[in-house]
Amino acid sequence: MAIVFMLIFSLFYGIISYAIPLILGAAYQQLSAEVLRKSVSTSDIYLYRADTADDKIDNILIEAETLSQKIIADSWLPEKWTYRCEGYGDNVLSVSADGSEWKACVRHAKPTAIMPVISLLGFEIPQLPDEIKGEASLRIR
């Protein structure tokens, strides 16, 4: 009877523990796409250039980043589960110097904090990736 319980428990835990990272991966991808979509929803983004001295143009990226932070804060993901991606600094958004390519990235650095790994019969369940990440990019010009 104990073997049947262990088998059923392992099967159930395996199904759940592999489904959660897949669902979270889709959630992070959807969140980064939503952040990017709403950040570039104004017509001012066509004016953005990184090397411009105009304050109005500099504020375009600041306003877009503020909006992206608000979208992430309003999402269903807890704040502790949203990390910035490497290469993005302290921002969620990354914009090329000429303003032609906008990117958004959100990740979770430690999936094992969400779903603990257990070892059964020498197998680790689930085998999680190093990070769960969603990234979206858009070329404007």
pLDDT per position as a tens digit, 85-122 = 988 888 888 888 787 888 999 999 888 888 888 887 78
Q: What is the pLDDT of residue 104?
A: 94
Q: Check if the beta carbon of residue 93 is closer than 8 Å to that of residue 103.
A: yes
The pLDDT tens digits of the residues spanning 39-91 come to: 888 767 767 766 666 677 678 888 888 899 999 999 998 888 888 898 888 88
Q: What is the dihedral of CA 94, 81, 25, 111, to 10 degrees?
A: 120
Q: Check if the beta carbon of residue 23 is closer than 8 Å to that of residue 29.
A: no
Single-letter residue type at 81 = W
Q: Give this prediction's pTM.
A: 0.81
- 39: tokens are 């950040």
- 13: tokens are 């835990």
Domain spans of the chain, in order of start: 2-139
- What percent of the chain is predicted at pLDDT more than 70? 92
